[in-house]
Amino acid sequence: MPARIRVAQAPDGLLTYAIPLAPEALPAVAPRDLLAAWDHARAAATAERWGAPRRLLFRRPDGEAQELLLADADAACWAEAVDARHDLGTAAGLALCLRLLALVEVLGRARWLMGLYSVTAEGIDLHPELLRAAAAMPLDAAARFDETGLRRLLSRPIPTGASA
């Protein structure tokens, strides 16, 4: 039975998640789910459906607590959108949300990824290999993607016509 995530809401609207594992232990997700979450979150942002801030309290393997706060308006919006479809009170929903946010974060800092996505008037097109890597590779302790590990995963030749 998967570990249970407890969720509580403070009077000010802050949602707190007590997560009995570390970000690195969250499961992989399906690439198609990651892409659907991206599209749904983008639609929520366009519609200005802002969500409540979320406080994630992870339990490290050594028993120590680790806090991650999703207070930025965009992160809260995207988390709200994923929660509406996938329930952040589950490891699978939380993994999907954090992978989505990690993907946005790494796209902003890793310029070498520019050939694996394109920005269009309709949004962003993500290369299927980038989606596969983001869906499968573990998050690090900060709930981000390790850029070196991502580069290694994506360094092998990418077949043309690959699909998510």
- The tokens of 134 are what? 């983001």
Q: How confident is the model at residue 115 (pLDDT cuts 50, 70, 90)?
A: confident
State the average pLDDT for the chain. 90
pLDDT of residue 14: 92
**Amino acid at site 2:** P
H-type alpha helices, the chain:
31-46, 73-86, 91-109, 128-136, 147-154
pLDDT in tens, 57-82: 999 999 999 999 999 999 999 999 99
Averaged pLDDT, 92-105:
96
* Secondary structure (3-state) at 54: strand
* Secondary structure (3-state) at 52: coil
Q: Is the pLDDT of residue 38 over 60?
A: yes
pLDDT of residue 159: 54
Q: Domain extents for the chain? A: 6-154
Q: Is 63 left (phi over 0), alpha (psi -120 to 50) or beta?
A: left
- Within 10 Å of residue 85's Cβ, how many Cβ atoms? 13
Averaged pLDDT, 137-156:
90
pLDDT of residue 137: 93
pLDDT of residue 124: 82
pLDDT of residue 153: 85
Averaged pLDDT, 22-41:
95
Q: What is the pTM of this model?
A: 0.89
User: How far apart are alpha carbons 79 and 99 in whole angstroms?
Assistant: 11
Exposed e or buried b for every residue in 52-69, given b needs 16+ CB within 10 A?
bbbbbbbbeeeeeeeebe
- The tokens of 85 are what? 């479809």
